[in-house]
Amino acid sequence: MTIIAISALFGTPVLAQEHEHMPGHDMTHMEGGMHGEHMGHAAEDGEREAMPSVRQVEASKVCMVNDMAFDKDQIAVEVDGKTYYGCCPMCKDRLESDASLRTATDPVSGAEVDKATAVIGADADGNVYYFESEHNLHTHMGV
């Protein structure tokens, strides 16, 4: 906890990258946050007092491995007739091989949702949240 608190003061990321990208990978297209980091979602975090404000985003703008929103379309990954998205060839491979990366928990209902069919929202830092319905997204937004 101390490391996280100190890191927050100095703006230094403390979460380890889960994978490295290929040399020359364009990281300038990310909307917010550090590329490759898995930021804690408020529902899982327990330390935040309120859910962050989110806006709805298109699935094609999301890396579903890093759960981050980008400002341009990501790489489409077809698995079992559904389309998922990754930001690089490594994320594409992981989406194809790891079924756990293709699901998330709706922060409102607690239900497991398929990322390919979820309603997706992103906060100001680009962190992504997956919802089973637009109603849950709006509930999360306080609308």
Beta pairing, strands 103-105 & 112-114: antiparallel
Q: What is the mean pLDDT of residues 113-129?
A: 96
Contacts 24+ apart (CB under 8 A), 84-93: 84/115, 84/116, 85/59, 85/60, 85/61, 87/21, 87/30, 87/35, 87/63, 88/21, 88/22, 88/25, 88/63, 89/22, 90/19, 90/20, 90/21, 90/22, 91/19, 91/63, 91/64, 91/65, 91/66
Between 99 and 36, where is the model more confident?
99
Q: What is the mean pLDDT of residues 51-71?
A: 92
Query: The whole model's pTM is what?
Result: 0.66
Q: What is the mean pLDDT of residues 69-75?
A: 96
Question: What pLDDT, on the 0 to 100 scale, is given for residue 49?
Answer: 45
Least reliable range by pLDDT among 47-51, 65-69, 95-99, 117-121: 47-51
